[in-house]
Amino acid sequence: MPRMTAGKCGRVLPALIAAPLLCGMAPGDMSVAAFLARAVPLERLGPLALATPQGIQLKGEVVAAGRRYKARIDAERRAGRKTTSCPPESGQLTADQWLSHLRSYPAASRKSISLYSAFDALMKKRYPCPT
C-alpha cells in the first residue's frame, strides 16, 4: 500500500474537504461573487486564462448556465408557452460582455445571484421578446 507523505496529504485534504460542497452544486449555480473572485486574478492572462484549470472550470460554469437556459427556453417553446426572452438559435457572448454584466450587479447582492440567474437576466436584456 502506498504511503501518504505530508506533501501529498496537503494536496489531497483540501480536495476531499471541498468535494461535498462542489458536488452538491449544479453547474451554473456558482454565485456571481464567487465567479468574479476567481475570474479577476485570471484577467491579467488575457486569452491564455482559458488554458488554465481555473479558466476551464469557470468557462464550464458559464457554458452550463447557458445550456440550462437554452433547455428551459426550448421546453417553453415546445410547450407553447411564452418565453422570458427570445434569443437567436446561435449567438456569441464575449468574456468582456459577460464580465461587464456580472459587474453590473451591486457588490452586496452578488453572493445571492447564481450564474444561471445572471445568464437569464442578460438574455432578457439582450434579446427581449417582441410585444
Positive or negative, the CA dihedral 87, 66, 116, 119 is negative
DSSP 10-54: HHHHHHHHHHHHHHTSPTT-SBHHHHHHHHHHHGGGGGGGGGSHH
d(CA 7, CA 25): 29
Q: Average pLDDT of each block of 10 consecutive residues along the chain (131 residues)? A: 48 40 62 95 88 92 93 95 90 89 97 96 94 75
Look up residue 94 and give its three cell numbers. Answer: 464575449
pLDDT of res. 22: 46
